[in-house]
Every structure is written in C-alpha cells, then in structure tokens.
Structure 1
C-alpha cells in the first residue's frame, strides 16, 4: 500500500489509537474524581515522520514531544507552518542547548544548575522564553532507565535546580517531570513525585505542570496528579516495528 491510500490508512490508525487513548484517560480521571481537561497529551513522535505530526495536528493534538535534538530540529522546521507547542523530553547535554532553544517551548529535563544557566544564556541570545520542568530522579540506584541513561535531580536538590531556573532571564519554572522506575510500582513513584511537585509549587506558585505517565502507566500518573502525559506507543504504534 503506497501513496494516498497508505496515508489514509495511517491517519485512520492514529485516529483510532487517539480515541482509545482518550477513553483510557477519561476512565482514569473518573476513577479519581478529576476532570479530563486537567490532563494534556503530549504526542512523543520520536522515530516517526513529520507526516505523523501533521496527522496528529489534524486530530487536534497541539503538543508534540521529542527526545533527540538531531531528529527534533529538522522535524520542527518541517512542521513550522503548524501551530504546535514543542516539548523536549529527553536527556539534554549542554552542547545541544543552542539548537534546542530555537524550537522547544518547554524543556522537561532540566536536572542540574549548569544546564539551567546554559539554557538561560542561549534563550536570551535568540530572544525566546522557555518553560523549564525540573526532572526528578525517582530511581537514584538505577544507572539506566526508560529514556536511556537515567537523568534527573535528586529529590533533595530539586528546589536548588528550580531556583537556578528562576534566576535566569528567559526561563520560567514550569513544574516537574519524572519517569517511573523500571520494575517498580509506578503509583508509589508518582506519589513521591507529587510530594516534590507540591514543594516546588509552594515556592513557585506558577509551577503547576506535573509531566508524568507514558503509554503503560498513565492511569497511575493521573491518580497522582499528572497534568501532562508523554504518549508515544499508544498513539503511534510500536517503535521497534517502526525503526526495524
């Protein structure tokens, strides 16, 4: 199947996946007495083409996440005509910051003060304001995790990182982000994240974002107060099949 027929088939598949996802989110919200409009979906399009981003946009998705700058930068440029909010959700090295600040509206993985300072410097250089989430390491004993090498600040250091973000003109403290540890109880992990998020909000009331939950654990994240879900597989299919 090629050409327009393949495009229609792909669009239909993504639309069906989105409908199923929205049903899951609605059920999870109902179970804990939350409103559906309290939870936003970030479509993580890592390894998927810009054509999928356009399909998602046609379905009403406006928040798009990427893990790697080398893929994200050209994809964001290709989709520059769309009214999208780009989220950088992967581990971020300082040598990639110059590129990332040119397209990312939100950086989810700020986990050290040096990175905050570099983001501030580069954001000011291009005249942009970036919302920053402090990534919290919920599994400090682990050397690797879902997104590759485990990142995230120790929960005891999160406020210091938030302070470093706040000190930089061009940056705003948006909230927190975390990945549930492999093999652990996501409900317990996200419960700890909720406690850290409350500490950050107490100091920075505008920092209301809790980025937590992916395709496999979104229910636990919603139950613990997640405001943003980072969804890839449940929307776009198995990545292994896509890249293999």
Structure 2
C-alpha cells in the first residue's frame, strides 16, 4: 500500500466516524471541520491530504509551522496552531497561522495582537479551557494546559478588544484518564456562556482521535485528528 493509499483510507474512515457521530447527535457533518494535525509528519503528507480535500491543517510546534507553511503557500489550506505558545514566538506563529487555538493568558493576547497588527494579518483566537477538574486525580499535574473556566470571560474580553485579533470561541483537551463526555459537557457550558456575550465566538475545538464522538455529541465544530489520519508518529532523532 502506498502512502497515498494509506492516507486515503484513513481519511475516508475519519470522515465516516465524523458523519456517524453527527447523525447520532442530530447534526449535519457539514457543521464539523476536520483539522489534520501533521506534527512530525512531512510536507508531502500535507500536500497529499490537501489533494484529497483536506482544507485545514494544524501544527503544535512553532518550528514545524514556520518550516512547512511557506513551502505549502500554493495550497488552499487554513493553518491552525494548536500547541502551547510562548509569547516570544507569537510573531513567528502569526506570520503563518490563521487560527491560534491555545490562547491561555493575557500576556499572550498582547503579544499576538502586536504581531497581528504589525504584520497586517488578522488572527482568529480560541480560548483554551482547562478541563482538569474532570480528570481522575488531583488537578495538579494533568498537563493539558488552559485557563480555568471562571477566567474565560475576562480573557475572552481581552481578545475581543485586542487590535488584529478575532475571538473565535474555545478549545480544550479532555483530561487523561478522565470521562471525556463529562469534560466536554463542561466545555459546552463554558462555550454557551461565551456565546451569550460574544455571539460570533461559536467555534468549539474539541475531540481528537480517541474521543471525537464524545466531542461532536456535545457540539464540537472542529476536531483535531493526528494518529487516526496519519498513523503512528515518526520517532525523531
């Protein structure tokens, strides 16, 4: 089987899973965007997926984003940055990413706004919400990142008021070993409160290869798929 065959098969399976989850939830598959997370995979895979109709690609490391995005400038894809982001690397990310999923502090909002304004590139920002309270053990050490739910309104307001930034909605990662359904229920409540104040902030980025069904059932508009789409990640030296 060629790599293209493998990606074609995986993409078909992923789209079927999304469609089935949407049907079960009474939603249209058109409401859910698949974001292909190509971390550690080569640019050739990005090109192959784009050729198969994938329009959204995500990276979680600034160095990979800045290496791949310029080489893929001829592709009609939207670039998403989904990893933890240091403020000092905000400018580099803004140069290439259309969406930043991991906004979790006011200082990052300031850095992103400055970069977006300087570069003339408006960036859609999602507030990363911590779902650690839904994990199996103590909150400390869950390692998923994000702002506490009660702090979302203030951070969202900062994004909404920042020049060059567009408040898009929320993002979260289900806690390791926790109940993804309960965690995404909590995220859905946070998202609903945010939309009551900012009606245009209607994105919910939630669900990965192992829990996309639970996320879609609870309103996810974007699912981030890596392993299910691209397979086991290469071991980097």
- Classify the TM-score, shorter chain: over 0.9
| Secondary structure, counterpart of 2:75 in structure 1 | coil
Tell me, in whole angstroms, the C-alpha distance in 2 between the residues paired with 1:47 and 1:142. Answer: 28
1:27 aligns with 2:31: no
Tell me, in whole angstroms, the C-alpha distance in 2 between the residues paired with 1:10 and 1:17. Answer: 10
Tell me, in whole angstroms, the C-alpha distance in 2 between the residues paired with 1:94 and 1:242. Answer: 28
The one-character-per-residue Cα deviations of 1:5-53 (angstroms, maximum 9, x if unpaired) are xxx8101100000011111111111111111101110000000000000
1:114 aligns with 2:112: no
Aligned length: 232
State the match for 1:158 in structure 2: 152
Q: Provide structure 1 residue ranges, at least 5 long, that are not aligned to the other structure.
A: 1-7
State the match for 1:189 in structure 2: 183
State the match for 1:229 in structure 2: 223
Whether the aligned pair in 2 keeps the contact of 1:124 and 1:170 (CA below 8 Å) is yes
TM-score by length of 1: 0.93
TM-score by length of 2: 0.95
Q: CA deviation at 1:142?
A: 3.7
Return the match for 1:12 from 5, 8, 17.
5
State the match for 2:120 in structure 1: 127
1:103 aligns with 2:96: yes
State the match for 2:45 in structure 1: 52
Q: Provide structure 2 residue ranges, at least 5 long, that are not aligned to the other structure.
A: 134-138
State the match for 1:37 in structure 2: 30
State the match for 1:209 in structure 2: 203
Whether the aligned pair in 1 keeps the contact of 2:142 and 2:176 (CA below 8 Å) is no
Return the match for 2:141 from 131, 135, 143.
143
